Amino acid sequence: MRNSTIAAIIGVTFITAAFFVWWSFTHEPKGYQMVFADSTANEHYWVPPDINTLPDNDSGKLIRYGRDLIVNTAKYFGSKGSVIANHTNGMNCQNCHQEAGTKIWGNNYSAVYATYPKYRARNGTVDNIYKRVNDCFERSLNGKALDNGSKEMQAIKSYIEWLGHDVEKGTKPKGSGIYEVAFMNYAAAPEKGKVVYINKCQSCHQQDGQGMLAADGIAYTYPPLWGQRSYNIGAGLYRLSRLAGYVKYNMPFGTDFTKPQLTDEEAWNVAAYINSQQRPDLNLSKDWPKIIEKPVDYPYGPYIDSFSESQHKYGPYPPIVAYLKSFKNN
């Protein structure tokens, strides 16, 4: 074949292909864009940026300070906190947002910058990053909110934004947040979870679940899982699916999603055991202002269905899911 003929064939092929790409982007039904984002853009697990690449200027310093606040929260806000003493229960953000909020399925912050501000059903409002961080201060750390203008809040926000700056707006990278463990067809059982706890958790978190403080008496070597120094009843981990998902891919400490140590059932049961123990209270009267938006595993009524609080807390969830589906379709 002559060169000009080859060029013509390539040209026509290219134009045809380009046309089809254009056509498929403009003529597909709406849902397509989401499928596309899930199947290609998020094919690979998120890779956090390297903290060592930060410049040694004011903004670099603020971001580093933010990271330190996530890792060593107790030092700044615990019982002897250097910024505000007794502002929190003495836990570190990192106790639940592992590796400074960068670990795959370790409740990482990869999606925060890309998805906030966003509507959150728990508050019934569009929340920014300040509000979301303060929710964890007030619930997971059972403490008080920080002023948005404080250096510490600015640092935490800068760090979280920097972590997620490469993530496409409106998307969640693969491995972000907490893993969703498949629902079981029967209820999670606290008494079976107690056996898992004794065998696989107690050596660090202790028999009474109160964890263990480091010798300095400031930070926890092993954080508490229940009792007065633990997260309160309004915290995310008080929902069984959040706790089971966190535990499945992160506990016993040292585990990650490539080598889970617990079966799904063990994760649900040990979560049920932990969340059947006593923990701090919180006024929840303003939470979930739209009842229909309550998650199936939210343990307090009222509900739009007639399943008990106990079934919402421990499952089985599939009947509730099925009911909600039929309710929303009608």
Question: Which positions lie near ligand HEC, rule CB under 6 A?
Answer: 70, 73, 91-98, 107, 109, 111-112, 132-133, 136-137, 140-141, 156, 160, 177-178, 196, 200-201, 203-205, 222-225, 231, 235-237, 242-243, 246-247, 251-253, 262, 270
Give me the residue label for tokens 């690979």. 44
Residue partners of 186: CB distance under 8 A and separation at least 6: 315, 316
Per DSSP, the chain holds a count of helices (H) and strands (E) of: 14, 4
Q: How far is the CB of 36 from ligand HEC (least distance, A)?
A: 22
**Alpha helix stretches (DSSP H) within the chain:** 3-27, 32-36, 58-71, 73-77, 98-101, 112-115, 129-138, 151-163, 190-200, 202-205, 240-250, 264-274, 309-314, 318-329
Closest CB to ligand HEC among residues 21, 34: 34
Cα–Cα distances in angstroms (integers) from residue 169 to residues 39, 131, 153, 283, 294, in the given order: 16, 19, 22, 34, 26
Closest CB to ligand HEC among residues 63, 111: 111
Closest CB to ligand HEC among residues 24, 203: 203
| Backbone angle region of 60, left / alpha / beta, with phi > 0 → left and psi within -120 to 50 → alpha | alpha
Tell me how far apart the alpha carbons of residues 142 and 147 are, in angstroms, rounded to a whole number: 16
Neighbours of 5 (CB within 10 A): 9
Q: Is 50 within 8 Å of 166 (Cβ atoms)? A: no
Q: How far is the CB of 63 from ligand HEC (least distance, A)?
A: 14
Report residue 10: phi and psi, to 5°: -60, -45
Neighbours of 177 (CB within 10 A): 20
Closest CB to ligand HEC among residues 222, 323: 222
| Backbone angle region of 66, left / alpha / beta, with phi > 0 → left and psi within -120 to 50 → alpha | alpha
Q: Is 246 within 8 Å of 104 (Cβ atoms)? A: no
Tell me how far apart the alpha carbons of residues 291 and 287 are, in angstroms, rounded to a whole number: 9
Closest CB to ligand HEC among residues 16, 221: 221
Cα–Cα distances in angstroms (integers) from residue 289 to residues 61, 161, 294, 303, 312, in the given order: 40, 29, 9, 11, 17
Closest CB to ligand HEC among residues 156, 184: 156
Q: How far is the CB of 18 from ligand HEC (least distance, A)?
A: 37
